[in-house]
Amino acid sequence: MKRKKIKKFPIFCIVLIILCLGFGYFRFFKNNNNDKKIKQTTSNYSKKSLEKMDDLKIKDKVNTNLYSKTLDVAIFDEYFQSEYVNKYEKIDYVDIDNFIDFINILLDRSTSVDEISKIIENYTNCPNFNKYNFERYLSYKEKNSDLDYQDVVTRVNIKLDKEYYTDTEPVKDPDSLYVVVNKYNYLDANFIPKNLKPLFNNSGVTMVEEAANAYKELVEAAKNDGITLVATTAYRSYAFQSSLYNSYKNKDGEALADTYSARPGYSEHQTGLAADLNDPNYSPRRLSADDYKWLKDNADKFGFIIRFPEGKENITGYQEEDWHIRYLGKDVAKKVKDSGLTLDEYYDLYLK
Ligand SMILES: [Zn+2]
């Protein structure tokens, strides 16, 4: 009994395969086997599509017994490229804007037709996807294959694929609580925040009023927990930052100075929303491990984040500064903390 079954089985298979190939179903099945988003039908092309193929002189290259939605869309697209006709036919359709343009970019880079739809979907599903950055995403991903698609999109959007201090632009919302000033976004030399208030009596250390009030609450709460924190610098004018940066540059050279000090206009201190804390009972560092632990656990309750944390140097562009806090208001400060992202990334994803 068993033997007979084994002998019959291959014959049955061969007959089935011949049938499948004969009717062209094999290919149809393969095309329809993927994502739900993909729309393919067995019907042939419309009269209008066939006429368009005639116009484009590609009809003899197309298998018109089959139907490819991607090809059907491509022939009416301004970016249609006739040398890719047989590749379009093999690419699963995805219903998004600029689909054909993205396909061309990937085909130009010799990407396999089997991967193209999935790659495009992975990028376009990111909420902060920007079509103008598509080629930069691909190049950045090539160099940073360990990063997921979301991280690639965010990092390219915040220009980390470019050298620091290149492609810089002025910040559009200098008075916003959520303003991002970094190595690509600068404040005008004349910008001075409104409502600067001293952090303690008769002091030249000032912040924007809302941040100054929050600072006082933070310092008071820390004191109640046995932690002494004092801001040694907060708002800095463009001119002051300029003399500070230049003195560092003269001492350490530009490359090294850039890792710990901002160029004038590029310092968050000019927003009036940042402060550098110090524990007067501790040296040689600004903060003790206990101070920093308290700050990390509690700063968000008063609307602050640690702006340049350890492990994020390649994103913020600055070496760790456990003492530098940035005011964002309680709601956003907590969200940034919980996200585990830097302000630069969080802003691009959720605040822009
Ligand atoms: Zn600072």
pLDDT digits (tens, 9 = 90+) for 170-190: 999 999 999 999 999 999 999
CA 233 to ligand 1 centroid distance, Å = 8
Cα-to-centroid distance, 232 and ligand 1 (Å): 10
* pLDDT above 70: residue 36: no
Range scoring the smallest mean pLDDT among 40-54, 95-109, 180-194, 307-321:
40-54
CA 26 – ligand 1 centroid, Å: 64
Ligand 1 centre from 284 Cα, in Å?
A: 17
CA dist., res. 13 & res. 11, Å (int): 5
Q: Ligand 1 centre from 153 Cα, in Å?
A: 28
Using CA atoms, how far apart are residues 84 and 6, in angstroms rounded to an integer?
45
Centre of ligand 1 to C-alpha 263, Å, is 12
What are the backbone angles phi and psi of residue 308, rounded to the nearest 5°? -125, 75
Domain 169-351 has CATH 3.40.50.280: no
Least-confidence region, from 1-10, 87-96, 204-213: 1-10
pLDDT tens, position by position, 227-263: 999 999 999 999 999 999 999 999 999 999 999 999 9
Over 50: is that where the pLDDT of 27 sits?
no
Distance CA 192, CA 238 (A): 9
Distance from the CA of 49 to the center of ligand 1, in angstroms?
62
Nearest partner of 320 among 248, 277, 260, judged by Cα = 260
Is residue 130 over pLDDT 60?
yes
pLDDT of 23:
52
277 Cα to the center of ligand 1, angstroms: 8
Whole-number percent of the chain with pLDDT over 90: 84
Mean pLDDT for the chain overall: 90
Beta strands at 169-170 and 185-186: parallel, antiparallel or unpaired = parallel
Q: Where are the domains of the chain?
A: 2-32, 34-124, 126-157, 169-351
Quick one: pLDDT at residue 165?
96
Percent of the chain with pLDDT over 70: 88
Q: How far is the CA of 147 from the centre of ligand 1 (A)?
A: 29
Confidence class for position 201, pLDDT limits 50, 70, 90 = confident
**pLDDT band at residue 44 using 50, 70 and 90 as cut-offs:** confident
Residue 326 pairs in a beta bridge with 274, 305
How far, in Å, is the centroid of ligand 1 from the Cα of 324?
A: 5
